Structures are given as structure tokens and as C-alpha cells.
Amino acid sequence: MEAQTDSISRKHHELILPVIARSIETSWSFGLVGSMTFQLKSEKAPTRTSNMQGLFLYTLRHQVVTAINGTTYFPGEKFILSNQLSYSYFPDEFWGLGKVAPDSNKEHYRYKQFYLYLHPQYLVGNKIFLGLLYEYQRLLDVHYQPGGLFDKENVAGRNGYQVSGLGFSFTYDTRDNAFSPDKGELMQFYFNHFAHFFGSDYDYTNFVVDMRRFITLYKDQVLALQAYGFFNLGQVPLRSLASIGGASSMRGYYEGRYRDKNKAVLQAEYRVPLFWRLGAVAFGDLGNVGEELGDLDFKHLKATLGGGIRVALNKTEKLNLRIDYGFASTGSHGLYLQLGEAF
């Protein structure tokens, strides 16, 4: 009798290039980025393309960011592994806690951070995955103004700390592409518990709800929607607080412009192919932060609007260079040059 085997092919593409990037938090930054896309393809079941990225950046604000991250889809997507390992030295800004934080409050601080994130998932049903999460964060060499906002608001972790937590996830994922989906949806729920038992300096629990939908409209135009909630219980240290702003959500706000224990964000993006390797997008976001869930209301609601250009670095896998400009309702605005879509 002849044994039947599941043939696996491994298509891969590598891209290494110097990069010039920009965001509100870093100003201009320069460095190298390497990206590898590959497909552990099975004849028995479809498998999406995997990606690993390596990054080194030095910014005009004397910040250093190094990271390795990616997601690997194993044959037939019976197993998925997401991971991130990073180190950063980051002069930053702090306006205080809460959804009302005046510009006049702004204080400078800086820190060094080591970060590790692992998220293996296992297929248990039709597009349904159960997973484990592990997260480790070490913050050290924190320098801030004594007697300033950090001390007045008694911000946990302002003198440095480490946290270590373990959790579980539930994911339903029908997206057709990992980088820029045309259709499908993602519903992901997870919690991560940080405790002294795991080597953490603080005891708290983080809950995340991430719901996305991608709808193909006229001539390959795509409407992308996301509802995202980030919630905490317990004593939450500085870099684990919920925050508004950044390159992936609420573009136009400085990342961390508003911080608190909880946040909720809605965002929509309309993606239009143009010609050659070019595309265009328009986006809008609504969001807020608060100490309690009841604070996530329409009072002092934050909003952003913006648009951008996409340049396909890999047309087959739809890996794009993203150039966005966002305008925030408070008057701030910013340019973003990034690899990959916001969500």
C-alpha cells in the first residue's frame, strides 16, 4: 500500500531596504527594514501568507527602536504563531491621565524598554482558533521631572518595573489576506493576567476585544471597519495603560496623548486601487479613554480624519508602503510613513 502524504511548498520573498519613516512621536527616522513573506502551503487546505519583519530605526529625537515581529500560518492553518521581540530607548511626552489633559501639562520623560509577546493559536473548528498569550515587559532607566505629573498623579511604574502575564484568546478569522484583506472578518477576544506568580511587579488583568470587517465594493474598492476595546482591572503600570493615538489607530494624535485604564475606538477606512502599484485611502476614527467603563462616553469624544497613498511593494501578497496624513479634532495632525496597513 502506498502511503499518502500532504505535500507542502514554501514560496518566499525577501525585501531588505533602507527606510525613511515619520510619525508624530518620532519625527523623521532612518534605518533598515527587512521583510520576508512565505507560504507554508498545503495541498489539502488553503493557507494564508506568513510574514516576518526586522526593524532598526534611529530618529531625529534620538530615539532607538529595534524589533522582530511576524505571524506564521502553518500548513492548513491548523496552527498560527504571532510573535514580537523589541527593544526601545524612547524620549517621550506625558500629559497626565484621563480624557481631559491640557496641552500645558506636557512633560518630557524617557525610558528603555524590553518587550516580548508570544501568541500561539490552534484551530478547533471552522475558522475558529483558541490560543495562549504570554507577554513580558521590562521598563528601566525611567527619567522624569520630580514633583511633576508622574508624582502628582501617582502613576504606577514611574520608577521602572517588570510585568509578566499569561492569558487565553478566542479568534474567528475569515479574512482572505493577512496584510490587506478584500473580504472577511476578524473577531478576537482575549485576556492576559499579570501576577506576582508569573514574576510581575503588578497584579492586573487586560481584556481586549478586536472586531474587523472587510467589504469589497465597486471595482475592488474595499471598506474596512474596526471596533476595538482595551480594558484593564487592577493597578496598571505606565506602558500598559490604554492610549489614544499612533500609526494604527486615531492617526493625527500623538500616541499616548490621552492615557487611562480603558479605551474604545471605532475606525473606518475606504481603500481604492488607482493604477500601477498605487492606491488611495480615506479614513475616520472615533475614540475615548477613561478610568471606568462608564467614562467611555461621548463627553470629550476624540475624532480623526485623514487620507493617504499606498505603494505596493509586493503586489502578489498585497504588502504596501503606507503614507497617511491624519487630522485630530483637537487640532493636532501628523504624517505617517509605515509598512503595512493600519488594521
Domain-located, residue 3: no
Q: Are strands 27-42 and 50-59 parallel, antiparallel or unpaired?
A: antiparallel
Q: Given pLDDT bands bounded at 50, 70 and 90, which one contains residue 2? A: very low
Q: 10-14, 111-115, 122-126, 234-238: which range is least confident on average? A: 10-14
pLDDT digits (tens, 9 = 90+) for 8-53: 555 677 878 788 878 888 888 899 988 888 888 777 778 888 989 9
60 vs 4: which has the higher pLDDT: 60
Average pLDDT over residues 71-97: 95
In angstroms, the CA 134 to CA 169 distance is 11
Q: Given pLDDT bands bounded at 50, 70 and 90, which one contains residue 80? A: very high
The per-residue pLDDT for 23 is 83
Per DSSP, the three-state class of 151 is: helix
Domain-located, residue 1: no
Domain-located, residue 2: no
The per-residue pLDDT for 10 is 58
Q: Given pLDDT bands bounded at 50, 70 and 90, which one contains residue 301? A: very high
Report whether pLDDT(239) > 90: yes
Domain-located, residue 151: yes
Our measurement of the distance from residue 120's CA atom to the centroid of its chain's CA atoms, rounded to an integer in Å, reads 17
Report whether pLDDT(315) > 90: no
Range of the domain at 118: 8-339
Domain-located, residue 79: yes
Report whether pLDDT(7) > 60: no
Domain-located, residue 250: yes
Q: Given pLDDT bands bounded at 50, 70 and 90, which one contains residue 309? A: very high
- CA distance readout (Å), 57 to 67, 243, 248: 9, 22, 18
The per-residue pLDDT for 159 is 94
**pTM assigned to the model:** 0.90
- Among 312, 339, 261, smallest CA distance to 23 is for 339
- Given a contact cutoff of 8 angstroms between Cβ atoms, the answer to whether 272 and 303 are in contact is no
Q: Given pLDDT bands bounded at 50, 70 and 90, which one contains residue 339? A: confident
The per-residue pLDDT for 6 is 46
Domain-located, residue 305: yes
Domain-located, residue 190: yes
Report whether pLDDT(259) > 60: yes
Backbone dihedral angles phi then psi of residue 238, each to the nearest 5 degrees: -45, -55
pLDDT digits (tens, 9 = 90+) for 172-199: 999 988 888 999 999 999 999 999 999 9
Report whether pLDDT(94) > 90: yes
The number of folded domains in the chain is 1
pLDDT digits (tens, 9 = 90+) for 8-19: 555 677 878 788
In angstroms, the CA 167 to CA 61 distance is 35
Ramachandran area for residue 124 (φ above 0: left; ψ -120 to 50: alpha; else beta): alpha
Which CATH number covers residue 325?
Answer: 2.40.160.50
- Among 132, 116, 106, smallest CA distance to 256 is for 106
The per-residue pLDDT for 4 is 38
Percent of the chain topping pLDDT 90: 76
- CA distance readout (Å), 164 to 161, 178, 193, 202: 10, 28, 8, 9
